[in-house]
């Protein structure tokens, strides 16, 4: 018997395992469907693209997108210790302060920026030092890149010359502006949630970690969660929790496990023959994601990250942990507003000194550079639903990209801005052929067609078990599931509105706060 069972050893699960086992009298079981984080590509920053569509990746695919020429979009999610923090681009980007303040609109207290800043700082060891916005001494190392490509410097200077403000810290007093991203790295290596939070405490006798353990369903005593059933090594086992089961499976796996266990939209569950334990119509609904549109150019000079895995660079990395292989690829960028009067930026720009087409799988064998135009606050909403009763089958993922016309308007303007920056005089010596959208595409409809033909995900889905007090909310302000005792959700699925920025740091913050809530309640 354990006190707590945590499902999913990703960004939230690793934090919770660390914090809850600080009390030596508390026994915790942490389950991860994937394996240990042993692949070297996990730890070499620039190699993260080699992890996609491997055993470290759930490698999901959406349903056909009706507004994107019925294309199915590849959705990677981490399936390994550390979860997506072990396969992502390592950008340390919090949500905008006003994003947190908007949580109050959903009838919940305690999640304003003023409330949660302490938890961002608690997690963090920022190598720049502590200040009003940043912490030192926390488990997660946050640092500046060791090696910044000259094209990234050029991007920042070109944007500043065009009148954009320089931002030295996107997680400080203001998010708007252009600059360099800080990264979750330590001494030139990835610093995932597993490396930061889990590995230092693996020897605690009150922590049990099981990998290759796929949760099949939750177990209940009436309306109280009391344990889980999971498959490991071809065998089905059960484990019991005296206090709580904590779902940290993420935006796809958490609603899938809940629905398989009888928690979700009653009509959908009955159609599949699943007995309804609790009619929670919001489970799987409210899906939102950051859509990514590429502006891509061939580079006339051999300075990009193309062929960065040369023998010289490999030796420099292996011996000194320096050089281009320490790059996170998404080296520079910023947050902009495409129209005046907006509370927060509606577009993120992400610059990479290399081509980045279809998650890197369709890059030309050439030197190039790319600017990702990322929609921050989609009006479009999608859903996750069960495809079958098979817990090993991927569910149906329908993000419904660009169902709202306002989403297209925003990204078309963003592409125009991106083109303007990359066509600045600073790039003249380096800029070759425009691969995307293409030199012949000049008007708004042409850009919109480029969006429909090529847009993909920036890997930040949220919202499928959102926080709130209304009929479509799934958890309350303590992240406890409505109507069910002993069950809590701590992952990006509870985020009610898409963040301005990335999701890894907000999820770790959320887990820090959840750990304090759990300790206070028990």
Instruction: Indicate which residues carry an active-site annotation.
Output: 460
d(CA 185, CA 417): 30
Q: List, as one string, the DSSP characters of 434-459.
A: EEETTTT--SHHHHHHHHHHH-EE-S
Calculate ∠ Cα 503-353-74, nearest 5°: 45
Sequence-ordered list of residues with C-beta below 8 angstroms from that of 195, at least 6 positions apart, any chain: 37, 82, 186, 189
Radius of gyration of the chain (CA): 22
Cα separations in angstroms, 273 against 167, 254, 334, 423: 54, 20, 48, 57
d(CA 327, CA 329): 5
Cα separations in angstroms, 339 against 138, 320, 328, 436: 38, 45, 30, 24
> DSSP label at 143?
B
CB 65 within 8 A of CB 244: no
d(CA 364, CA 5): 46
CB 394 within 8 A of CB 387: yes
Burial (CB count <10 Å: 0-12, 13-18, 19+), residue 86: buried
> DSSP label at 19?
H
Burial (CB count <10 Å: 0-12, 13-18, 19+), residue 169: middle
| Nearest in space to 441 (alpha carbons), one of 330, 296, 243, 301 | 296
Omega into 437 within 30° of 0, i.e. cis?
yes
Residue with token string 């990006």? 492
Residue with token string 């939102």? 288
Buried b / exposed e along 414-448 (16+ C-beta atoms within 10 A): bbebbbebbebebbeebbeebbbbeeebeeeeebb
| Nearest in space to 76 (alpha carbons), one of 66, 65, 89 | 89
d(CA 139, CA 482): 32
């Amino acid at each position: 018997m354990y006190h707590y069972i945590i499902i999913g050893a990703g960004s939230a699960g690793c934090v919770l395992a660390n914090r809850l086992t600080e009390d030596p009298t508390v026994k915790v079981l942490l389950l991860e469907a994937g394996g240990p984080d042993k692949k070297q590509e996990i730890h070499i920053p620039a190699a993260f693209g080699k992890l996609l569509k491997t055993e470290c990746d759930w490698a999901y695919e959406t349903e056909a997108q009706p507004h994107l020429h019925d294309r199915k979009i590849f959705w990677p999610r981490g399936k390994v210790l550390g979860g997506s923090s072990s396969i992502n681009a390592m950008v340390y980007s919090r949500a905008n302060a006003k994003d947190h303040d908007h949580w109050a609109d959903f009838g919940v207290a305690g999640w304003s920026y003023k409330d949660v800043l302490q938890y961002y700082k608690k997690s963090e060891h920022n190598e720049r030092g502590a200040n009003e916005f940043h912490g030192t001494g926390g488990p997660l190392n946050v640092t500046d890149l060791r090696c910044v490509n000259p094209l990234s410097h050029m991007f920042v200077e070109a944007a500043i010359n065009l009148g954009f403000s320089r931002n030295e810290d996107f997680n400080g007093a203001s998010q708007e502006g252009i600059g360099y991203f800080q990264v979750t790295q330590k001494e030139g290596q990835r610093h995932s949630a597993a490396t930061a939070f889990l590995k230092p405490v693996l020897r605690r006798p009150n922590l049990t970690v099981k990998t290759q353990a796929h949760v099949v369903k939750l177990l209940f005593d009436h309306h109280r969660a009391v344990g889980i059933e999971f498959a490991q090594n071809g065998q089905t086992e059960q484990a019991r929790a005296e206090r709580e089961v904590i779902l940290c499976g993420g935006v796809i796996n958490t609603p899938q496990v809940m629905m398989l266990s009888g928690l979700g939209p009653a009509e959908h569950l009955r159609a599949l023959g699943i007995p309804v334990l609790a009619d929670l119509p919001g489970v799987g609904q409210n899906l939102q994601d950051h859509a990514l549109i590429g502006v891509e150019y061939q580079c006339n000079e051999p300075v990009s990250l193309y062929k960065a895995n040369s023998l010289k660079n490999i030796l420099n990395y292996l011996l000194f942990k320096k050089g281009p292989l320490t790059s996170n690829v998404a080296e520079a960028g910023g947050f902009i507003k495409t129209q005046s009067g907006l509370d927060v930026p509606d577009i993120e720009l992400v610059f990479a000194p290399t081509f980045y087409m279809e998650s890197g799988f369709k890059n030309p064998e050439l030197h190039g550079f790319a600017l990702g135009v990322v929609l921050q606050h989609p009006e479009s909403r999608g859903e996750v639903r069960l495809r079958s009763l098979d817990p090993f089958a991927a569910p149906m993922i329908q993000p419904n990209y660009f169902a709202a016309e306002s989403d297209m308007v925003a990204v078309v303007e963003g592409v125009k801005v991106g083109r303007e920056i990359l066509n600045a005089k600073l790039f003249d010596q380096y800029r070759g052929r425009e691969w995307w959208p293409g030199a012949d595409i000049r008007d708004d409809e042409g850009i919109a067609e480029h969006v429909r033909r090529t847009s993909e995900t920036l890997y930040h889905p949220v919202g499928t078990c959102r926080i709130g007090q209304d009929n479509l909310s799934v958890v309350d302000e303590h992240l406890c599931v409505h109507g069910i005792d002993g069950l809590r959700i701590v992952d990006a699925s509870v985020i009610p509105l898409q963040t301005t920025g990335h999701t890894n740091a907000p999820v770790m913050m959320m887990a820090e706060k959840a750990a304090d809530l759990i300790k206070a309640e028990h």
